[in-house]
Amino acid sequence: MPVLPSTADYQHLFLHDVPMMDVRAPVEFGQGAFPCAVNVPLLDDRQRELIGIEYKNAGQDAAIALGNRLATPEIRAQRIADWQAFAQAHPDGVLYCFRGGLRSRTTQQWLHDSGVTVPLVQGGYKALRRFLLDTLEQRCAVQPLILVSGRTGTGKTDLLQQIGHAVDLEGLACHRGSTFGYTTSLQPPQIGFENALAVQLLKHAHRHPQQPLFLEDESRLIGRVALPPVLQEAMKAAPLIVLEAPLEQREERVVRDYIQAQRAAYDVAYGEQAAERFAEFVLHNLDRIRSRLGGERHQQLREDWQQALQLFEATGDTAGFRPGIRRLLVEYYDPMYDYQLSRRSGTILARGEADLLLQAMRQHHS
């Protein structure tokens, strides 16, 4: 029997975005995977469950025998065809299962017997995940950070995108970070978010050693995913730059990002149901902060925005949202942000509008 190729160079895999074929069951993949991985399973969820029960009750040999019985010629042919398609599309790809054991070896052998050879990852998903967790710990301990702070609507994400030494935490979380920040994309599972974040930190350290990394000044939660505790601790002591913008510009950006762009995304995601789903999105998120707004203010804003939604859907005119957006910025978001900033221990390096701060950010990488 030939010795088939394998790799334990986890850093190379992540730095170079090597395509990975994850042969775990879909339920395992859904709990957390890697940015360049696709799920092409050996076993479906039900088969995995049955084999797991057999292993528990009768041992490994019995579980393997059951697996062979479940792998009918039709199923085996389909699995091999799916794996071959991955290998053809990604000739530099690798494969893994949970521990780099029986499932990945079986997949690799069936593929090899069909004339295709794909390296497997030693230690599988578990080893890759351990590598990223260690990377997260190590990078948060030594990576210089500078946080971009600012009131809602100042354009922090826009600013970060103009400099190459940044990680977009909200982009990784598929969430804009505010009450109205939900997107039509599902947020990743916590493990998937942590994996993607660790890969970004690894790439920054490799490409820009010793250079500060810019992050948006986020709270613990971005939607439903949480910043890892080690990153939270590192961010607490990090210096800040504070982005400022006139209220009119902030209002305009909120309209653009949270009304117009979101509504366009709903067209793509929901088709004929887009208007109804978007109205639910807007009003539900307003309802989520009812207790903080107070009943009377919440009710008035809700009535105003119900009318604004009708006008917007009929004509595309966003004017009906603007008084409420301005009121939320001035009466809700700004006081909350100012209070949070007053409690920060990090030094404020600079504050001002985008052009000034962009110049200051680039000086740190000159």
Q: What is the pLDDT of residues 96-106, one digit of tens each?
A: 999 988 889 98
Secondary structure class of 131 (helix, strand, coil): helix
Give whole-number Cα distances, 142 to 28, 38, 214, 231, in Å: 32, 32, 14, 11
User: What pLDDT is stored for residue 184 in this prediction?
Assistant: 47
Confidence label for 76 from pLDDT (cuts 50, 70 and 90) = confident
Q: Which residues are registered as beta bridge partners of 37? A: 20
Question: Is the confidence at residue 269, as pLDDT, over 90?
Answer: no
* Mean pLDDT confidence for 61-82: 77
143-366 fold? Rossmann fold (3.40.50)
Question: Is the confidence at residue 62, as pLDDT, over 70?
Answer: yes
Contact criterion met (CB below 8 Å) for 7 and 26: no
Question: What value does the mean pLDDT of the chain take?
Answer: 89
Domain edges within the chain: 6-130, 143-366
Q: Summarize pLDDT for 16-41 with one digit per residue, the tens.
A: 999 999 999 999 999 999 999 999 99
Q: Summarize pLDDT for 121-177 with one digit per residue, the tens.
A: 999 999 999 999 999 999 999 999 999 999 999 999 888 888 878 999 988 998 765
- CATH 3.20.20.70 holds for 6-130: no
User: What pLDDT is stored for residue 130 in this prediction?
Assistant: 97
Rounded CA-CA distance 243/154 in Å is: 6
Q: Which of 36, 97, 140, 174 is catalytic?
A: 97
Q: Summarize pLDDT for 179-207 with one digit per residue, the tens.
A: 555 554 578 999 999 999 999 999 999 99
Write a three-state SS string for 247-297. Answer: HHHHHHHHHHHHHHHHHHHHHHHHHHHHHHHHHHHHHHHHHHCHHHHCHHH
Rounded CA-CA distance 186/188 in Å is: 6
Rounded CA-CA distance 307/322 in Å is: 12
User: What pLDDT is stored for residue 364 in this prediction?
Assistant: 61
Asked about 97 being catalytic, the answer comes back as yes
User: What pLDDT is stored for residue 1 in this prediction?
Assistant: 54
* Mean pLDDT confidence for 249-275: 90
| Tokens, residue 337 | 């942000």
Confidence label for 42 from pLDDT (cuts 50, 70 and 90) = confident
pTM for the model: 0.87
User: What pLDDT is stored for residue 72 in this prediction?
Assistant: 67
Q: Which has more pLDDT, 326 or 365?
A: 326
